[in-house]
């Protein structure tokens, strides 16, 4: 890009003048940021064009990843790193008196996602480009990403997020590639030339305009595309209420959904899903037609991957185009569609499995509904042929049942591959949640354990540790994360372990400063930094963590012989705005923090920090500074988790249940390098099936539990009235669905063991080293290679 600092500076200054009309001294940091961003984007445009030309000319297979969420975070420094010019740029800017890290602060996080599922999509894009694989993302260009969280008086308050306020320097608007999406109206069926044809009449049409972002690979020439669709009014046709139409149209790409627990949001959410899918499929086929290959061979050249069920309408939409526009017969269209679509399931929680009331679906998407109906009828017919008279089975597996469209059923029936995201999760799908589908289509089911972009979560986030690793085993680990295993040769090398300790200590100091700036609380960096950062959900059991903290607090105050190894407990979590119970837990954590942090009796032992507005950029500061990684979901509930992998690769030790990918972490590092506790998935599922758990017994028989649980409601936290009664009730009246009390004792025990282990700092670092060394398996490069080889059939 620039062969020298001097060349960079020359370029930068010239461009700054052109763009802002000002000299360096007159310009503001915002101008520097814009200038640098534009320089990079323009610089990559050549490789971007070349990549697309190569893809087109080679006629090789390409994958399109459809996802309603992308949690990209900041892109400036990652792009510089990928281009291999970070050092040159940083030096050049410095000579001009500009700090690259300050510019990075000016960039808004692209937070177009809720959590794990959206961040996974972003990590996958990174790996696809780095591995030179032809894979592109399609999503929605939400004007407002996930809400900004403020904590006011201990409560979560949501503000609209504004990432586009100063524009998005990485995107290119492609108005000429816009497509039209029809909603509402009715379908007219006619006989023409001996076949039925379908016309969608009186539809309200929305224009989808793509905004393309380049996706750079690490030190590679490949530049893939993330295409984000913006919803805009079509040329204002005959419309009675133009303003209403404009408002409704634009609202399609206005907000990312924190979830769809509210009914009024449902139509909009379904509109978003069809908007994404229809725009993407139309655009994919437009591109495909340029290659002049028959649509009969679509599946040999294209794979469309649906990230969870949100984009599942890709199936009927592809059918619609093949049948209505390309005049295929049903059976032929169905074979092509089934062989083109693959699907990832990300949760077995029944409340998260999507289903749409037919009363909403049918009028909004009349032609799509007809196709779903036909898919369902044919599928039910097949079931009938196989087991005539077995209505129970048909009712269970049908796509349309009980007045709903069941999206996961459509996904399984209309795709060639169904994968879970960690070994246990896939087994639960096969043996339980989707057992009957597995019996019907065993060949479709497979596992792809999640991964993380280690170049963001280690190389970028933890420069000191990365340098040490590179000095020790050479630089190839950035491409081949498995090389990290070579670090095992240093596990008995005290000098090396001392260095690890020193780096962790420095990272903790950086985080301590952030904590002080944000909360005013001083934390001791010699204490164990024990961190739980993730979305707030009952099954993730932040409640178990905070109840245990309250218990520790009680113990320090009451038992003078008790000596706690000092701890700083750090939380970061957003609750869905409509999720009442989750918000109560946030209030509880903040209330406990307030009390504990202001009690001089425990101040040298215990601190509780809630960092507001947890997001990708703050996560990059947190993982490198963590000693302990809390992965304490009720076993069987967390499909995989990916935060667990980010902690691990930064040398934090996991305290976790045998759930999701924790199980695979455990297998890799062995019993001696992880702290596991609690019920197994099998035990949990057994209780759910057969009963036998009575939370009140644990409340009555364990004083520690009774004391902490009573403190929720007995005035121990002054000024909160009945605030925590719903939590109290969930544990006792509602029999503690997530086994918080059941797992409390084993959690407290293992936490004790963690304190003891931490005292021997070299032993602790040795354990950290073992975790880092085995974390290569969790690079999303490995995951993506598995998808590419075993599902998509794409090649570099």
Residues that bind ligand 26V (CB under 6 A): 115-117, 120, 259, 261, 308, 346-347, 349, 351-352, 421, 450, 638-642, 660
The answer to whether 551 is a known catalytic residue is no
The answer to whether 788 and 133 have CB atoms below 8 angstroms apart is yes
Q: How far is the CB of 635 from ligand 26V (least distance, A)?
A: 13
Q: How far is the CB of 408 from ligand 26V (least distance, A)?
A: 11
Would you give the DSSP letter of residue 478? G
Of 365 and 639, which has the nearer Cβ to ligand 26V?
639
From the list 74, 299, 346, 541, the catalytic residue is: 346
For the stretch 70-81, what's the b/e string if a residue is b when 16 or more beta carbons lie within 10 angstroms of its beta carbon?
bbbbbbbbbbbb
Nearer CB in complex with ligand 26V: 116/572: 116
Strands 204-216 and 172-173: antiparallel
Task: Write down the catalytic residue from 61, 456, 508, 535.
Answer: 535
Q: Nearest distance from residue 430's CB to ligand 26V, in Å?
A: 17
Work out how close the CB of 453 gets to ligand 26V at its nearest, in angstroms, rounded to a whole number. 13
Minimum Å distance from CB 636 to ligand 26V?
Answer: 11
Comparing CB distances to ligand 26V, the nearer of 116 and 137 is 116
Indicate the Cα dihedral angle 402, 404, 410, 412, nearest 10°. -60
* Under 8 Å between Cβ of 193 and 169: no
Q: Nearer Cβ to ligand 26V, position 34 or 347?
A: 347
Q: State the Cα–Cα distance between residues 528 and 285, nearest whole angstrom.
A: 54
789's CB contacts (< 8 A; 6+ apart) are none
Spell 207-226 as b/e; 16+ CB within 10 A means b. Answer: bbbbbbbbbbbbebebbbbb
DSSP assignment of 617-640 equals: HHHHHHGGG-SEEEE-PPTT--S-
Active site annotation includes 540: yes
Is 572 in contact with 618 (CB distance < 8 Å)?
A: yes
CA nearest to 104, candidates 78, 69, 129, 142: 78
CB nearer ligand 26V, residue 117 or residue 458:
117
Q: Which is nearer to ligand 26V, 400 or 639 (CB)?
A: 639
Residue among 61, 119, 455, 646 flagged as catalytic: 646
> Considering beta carbons, is residue 257 or 490 the nearer one to ligand 26V?
257
DSSP for 249-296 reads HHGGGTB--S---SGGGHHHHHHHHHHHHHHHHHHHHHHHHTTT--GG
Please identify, using beta-carbon distances, which residue of 310 and 774 lies nearer to ligand 26V.
310
Residue among 211 and 540 whose Cβ is closer to ligand 26V: 540
- Say if CB 306 and CB 382 are below 8 A apart: no
> Is the CA virtual torsion 415, 421, 424, 428 positive or negative?
negative
Please say if 449 is a catalytic residue.
no
Q: Which two three-digit tokens encode residue 6?
A: 């001097």
Q: Please, what is the minimum distance in Å from the beta carbon of residue 113 to ligand 26V?
A: 9
The span from the CA of 299 to the CA of 308, in Å, is 20
CB of 638 to ligand 26V, least distance (A): 5
The minimum distance between CB 695 and ligand 26V, in angstroms, equals 22
Nearest residue (beta carbon) to ligand 26V: 116
The nearer residue to ligand 26V, 86 or 781, going by C-beta atoms, is 781
From 271, 540, 584, 782, active-site residue? 540
Q: How far is residue 752 from each of residues 79, 549, 659, measured CA to CA in Å? A: 43, 12, 21
- Which residues lie across from 223 on neighbouring strands? 216
Closest CA to 225 of 287, 163, 294, 270: 287
Report in angstroms how near the CB of residue 618 gets to ligand 26V at its nearest. Answer: 19
Distance in Å, CB of 351 to ligand 26V, minimum: 5
- The nearest distance, CB 124 to ligand 26V, in angstroms, is 10
Place of tokens 């399984």: 412
For residue 289, the Cα-to-chain-centroid distance in whole angstroms is 33
Which residues partner with 233 through β-bridges?
Answer: 206
Helix axes 761-774, 494-519, angle to 10 degrees: 90
Choose, from 77, 227, 456, 534, the residue flagged as catalytic.
534
Contact 509, 525 (CB under 8 A): yes
The residue to which tokens 């986030």 are assigned: 461
> Could you give the count of Cα atoms lying within 13 Å of 370 in the half-sphere of its Cβ?
15
> How many CB atoms lie under 10 A from the CB of residue 358?
17
d(CA 546, CA 592): 8
Known catalytic residue at 535: yes
Q: How far is the CB of 101 from ligand 26V (least distance, A)?
A: 30
CA pair distance 757, 414, nearest whole angstrom:
51
- The Cα 110–Cα 122 span in angstroms is 10
**Which residue(s) pair with 631 in the sheet?**
656
Contacts of 392 (CB under 8 A, 6+ apart): none
Of 38, 41, 39, the C-alpha closest to 49 is 41
Nearest to residue 440, comparing CAs of 402, 390, 401, 405?
390
Q: Which is nearer to ligand 26V, 421 or 655 (CB)?
A: 421
Annotated active-site residue in 642, 654, 676, 783: 642
One DSSP character per residue, 329-392 reads: -HHHHHHHHHHHEEEE-----GGGS-EEEHHHHHHHSHHHHHHHHHHHHHHHHHHHHHSTT-HH
- Which residue lies nearer to ligand 26V by CB, 79 or 307? 307
Say how far apart CA 764 and CA 464 lie, in whole Å: 19
| Nearer of residues 337 and 642 to ligand 26V, judged by Cβ | 642
Q: Which residues are annotated as catalytic?
A: 346, 534-535, 540, 642, 646
């Amino acid at each position: 890009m620039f062969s020298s600092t001097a060349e960079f500076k020359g370029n930068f200054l010239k461009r700054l003048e052109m763009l802002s009309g000002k000299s360096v001294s007159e310009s503001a940091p915002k101008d520097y940021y814009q200038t640098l961003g534009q320089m990079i984007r323009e610089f990559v445009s050549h490789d971007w064009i070349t990549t697309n030309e190569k893809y087109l000319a080679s006629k090789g297979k390409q994958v399109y990843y459809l996802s309603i969420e992308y949690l990209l975070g900041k892109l400036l420094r990652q792009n510089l790193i990928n281009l291999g010019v970070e050092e040159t740029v940083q030096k050049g800017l410095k000579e001009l008196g500009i700090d690259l890290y300050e510019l990075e602060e000016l960039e808004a996080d692209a937070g177009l996602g809720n959590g794990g599922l959206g961040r996974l999509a972003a990590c996958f894009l990174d790996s696809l480009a780095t591995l030179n694989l032809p894979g592109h993302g399609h999503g929605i260009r939400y004007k407002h990403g996930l809400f900004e969280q403020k904590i006011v008086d201990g409560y979560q308050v949501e503000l609209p997020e504004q990432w586009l306020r100063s524009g998005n320097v990485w995107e290119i608007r492609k108005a000429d590639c816009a497509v039209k999406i029809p909603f509402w109206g009715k379908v007219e069926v006619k006989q023409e030339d001996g076949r039925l044809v379908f016309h969608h009449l009186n539809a309200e049409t929305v224009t989808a305009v793509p905004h393309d972002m380049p996706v750079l690979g690490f030190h590679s020439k490949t530049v893939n595309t993330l295409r984000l669709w913006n919803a805009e009014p079509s040329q204002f046709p005959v419309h009675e209420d133009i303003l209403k139409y404009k408002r409704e149209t634009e609202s399609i790409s206005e907000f990312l959904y924190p979830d769809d627990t509210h009914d009024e949001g449902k139509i909009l959410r379904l509109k978003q899903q069809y908007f994404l899918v229809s725009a993407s499929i139309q655009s994919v086929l437009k591109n495909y037609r340029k290659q002049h290959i028959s649509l009969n061979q679509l599946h040999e050249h294209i794979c469309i991957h649906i990230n969870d069920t949100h984009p599942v309408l890709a199936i009927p939409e592809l059918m619609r185009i093949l049948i209505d526009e390309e005049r295929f017969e049903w059976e032929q269209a169905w074979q092509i569609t089934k062989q083109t679509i693959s699907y990832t399931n990300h949760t077995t929680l029944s409340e998260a499995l999507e289903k749409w009331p037919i009363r909403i679906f049918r009028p909004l998407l009349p032609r799509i509904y007809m196709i779903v109906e036909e898919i369902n009828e044919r599928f039910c017919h097949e079931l009938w042929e196989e087991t005539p008279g077995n209505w129970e089975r048909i009712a269970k597996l049908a796509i349309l049942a009980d007045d709903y469209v069941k999206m996961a059923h459509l996904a399984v029936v209309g795709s060639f591959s169904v994968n879970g995201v960690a070994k246990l999760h896939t087994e639960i799908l096969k043996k339980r949640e989707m057992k009957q589908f597995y019996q019907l289509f065993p060949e479709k089911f497979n596992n792809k354990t999640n991964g993380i972009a280690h170049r963001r979560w280690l190389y970028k986030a933890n420069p000191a540790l990365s340098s040490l690793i590179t000095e020790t085993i050479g630089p190839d680990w950035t491409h081949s994360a498995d090389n990290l295993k070579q670090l095992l040769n240093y596990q008995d090398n005290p000098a090396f372990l001392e260095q690890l300790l020193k780096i962790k200590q420095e990272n903790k100091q950086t985080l301590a400063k952030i904590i002080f700036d944000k909360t005013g609380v001083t934390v001791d960096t010699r204490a164990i930094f024990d961190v739980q950062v993730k979305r707030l959900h009952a099954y993730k059991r932040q409640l178990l963590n905070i109840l245990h903290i309250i218990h520790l607090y009680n113990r320090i105050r009451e038992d003078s012989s008790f000596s706690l190894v000092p701890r700083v407990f750090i939380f970061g979590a957003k609750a869905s705005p409509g999720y009442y119970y989750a918000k109560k837990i946030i209030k509880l954590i903040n209330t406990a923090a307030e009390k504990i942090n202001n009690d001089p009796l425990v101040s040298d032992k215990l601190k509780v920090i809630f960092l507001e507005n947890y997001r990708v950029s703050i996560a990059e500061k947190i993982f490198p500074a963590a000693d302990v990684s809390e992965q304490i979901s009720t076993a069987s509930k967390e499909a995989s988790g990916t935060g667990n992998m980010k902690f691990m690769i930064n040398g934090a030790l996991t305290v976790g249940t045998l759930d999701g990918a924790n199980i695979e972490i455990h297998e890799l590092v062995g019993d001696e390098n992880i702290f596991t506790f609690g019920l197994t998935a099998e035990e949990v599922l057994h209780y759910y099936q057969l009963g036998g758990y009575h939370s009140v017994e644990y409340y009555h028989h364990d004083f520690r539990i009774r004391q902490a649980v009573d403190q929720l409601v007995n005035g121990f936290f002054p000024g909160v009235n009945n605030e925590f009664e719903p939590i109290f009730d969930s544990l006792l009246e509602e029999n503690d669905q997530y086994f918080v009390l059941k797992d409390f004792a084993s959690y407290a025990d293992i936490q004790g063991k963690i304190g003891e282990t931490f005292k021997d700092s070299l032993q602790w670092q040795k354990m950290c080293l073992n975790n880092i060394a085995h974390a290569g398996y969790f690079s999303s490069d490995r995951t993506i290679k598995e998808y590419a080889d075993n599902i998509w059939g794409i090649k570099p």
